[in-house]
Structure 1
Amino acid sequence: MPEQILPPPLGTVSQVAYVVSDMERALEYWIDVIKAGPFFLFEHALLDNQRYRGGASDVDVTLAVGNSGDTQIELIYCENDAPSVYKEFLDAGRLGVHHIGLMPEDYPSTCELYRSLGFEVAFECAIGGTDLVYFDTVD
């Protein structure tokens, strides 16, 4: 893990994403208990140009996206066993918070900063024409 602490500001945390084992149950919880939403469901979401740890990936996910206050909540359900950051998380016996999302004003510069600090790209794709990069910040 890089020794340098990330200098602020890298952007406000605007999203908290959770890997779930049951999308219906997760939605019921977030809507009925937390009172978040409304949620928009994207079954078998189209993730273009997928790269997982440098190799091609074809992960199939169902996503639900809604808000709790000013924070976007993303629920992720893995539909297949393709190599991915989600499968890696599940294979480690984990569920719950998977990643946070930042929306920096200068996306390319922020990505370059993470790379320069030694963080590796774990996953990248595009969804709806928007490029996404997941940096591995876990030691």
Structure 2
Amino acid sequence: MLSALLEQRPVRQIAYFVPDIVAAAKAHMAAFGSGPFYIADHIPLTLSLHRGQPAELDHSSAYGQWGEVMVEFVQQNNDGPSVFRDLYPEGRQGMHHVALIVDDIKAAVQRFEEAGHEMALYAEVAPGVGFAMMDCVDTLGHFVELYEPTPPLLAVYDIVRSSARDFDGADPIRHFTVT
């Protein structure tokens, strides 16, 4: 059943949990020619539920293009429970999730839950503009992130992808604010 859920949408992003997003982005650029990377520090969330319970999540991310897929490096800036700590305890890092853009997040969450994959995180960057992390660790070894194709989300994907087209290595680390 999980394979049917994943076949419905292409993977749009692969994400890694790391202790330092800038160092990880620079290492990835050196190894794979990805980039440039856009940094979003301390991404504000208006809502954060970890396994159904309110939980503060202070995180930062670096977004770059790696061929046809966006690569994200994410670090957690606070202590406490999270989907990142669920998979990687303090001092550990690695591949964390893939992201899918879905037409209807509530329906997609329901399909994943019906297939036995609980929603481990629901968070909103603005009221009603949310994303979900589905726990597929037992099956896939990682989480699956779901979000809808909102104009701000699609703009981030477009900026990252279009910047990579003519990226010559100059200005490899760039900053933007996620609102």
Match of 2:135 in 1: 136
Match of 1:99 in 2: 97
Structure 1 residue 92: Cα displacement: 7.2
CA RMSD, 1 decimal: 1.9
Match of 2:4 in 1: 7
CA shift digits 1:57-111 (9 cap, x unpaired): 1111111111112211110011111211112223176411001101123433222
CA contact (8 A) 1:14 1:102 kept: yes
Question: Structure 1: 5+ residue runs without aligned partners?
Answer: none
Q: What is the percentage of aligned positions where both structures have the same residue?
A: 27
Number of matched residues? Answer: 136
Structure 1 residue 42: Cα displacement: 0.7
TM-score of the aligned structures, taking structure 2 as reference length: 0.68
TM-score of the aligned structures, taking structure 1 as reference length: 0.86
Q: Map residues 121-132 of structure 1 onto 2, 5 A cutoff.
A: 121-127=119-125, 130-132=129-131
Match of 2:39 in 1: 41
Q: Per the alignment, in what secondary structure is the counterpart of residue 37 of structure 1?
A: coil
CA shift digits 1:4-39 (9 cap, x unpaired): 444253311111010012223201112222111111
CA 1:92/1:67 → structure 2, altered by over 3 Å: closer, same or farther? Answer: same
Bigger proportion of residues as helix: 2
Q: Map residues 13-32 of structure 1 onto 2, 5 A cutoff.
A: 13-32=11-30
Bigger proportion of residues as strand: 1
Structure-2 separation of matches of 1:61 and 1:103: 21
Query: Which of 124-133 and 78-87 deviates more?
Result: 124-133
CA contact (8 A) 1:11 1:105 kept: no
CA contact (8 A) 1:12 1:104 kept: no
Structure-1 separation of matches of 2:135 and 2:83: 9
Query: Which of 67-76 and 127-136 deviates more?
Result: 127-136
Structure 1 residue 115: Cα displacement: 1.6
Structure-2 separation of matches of 1:69 and 1:7: 25
Match of 2:144 in 1: none
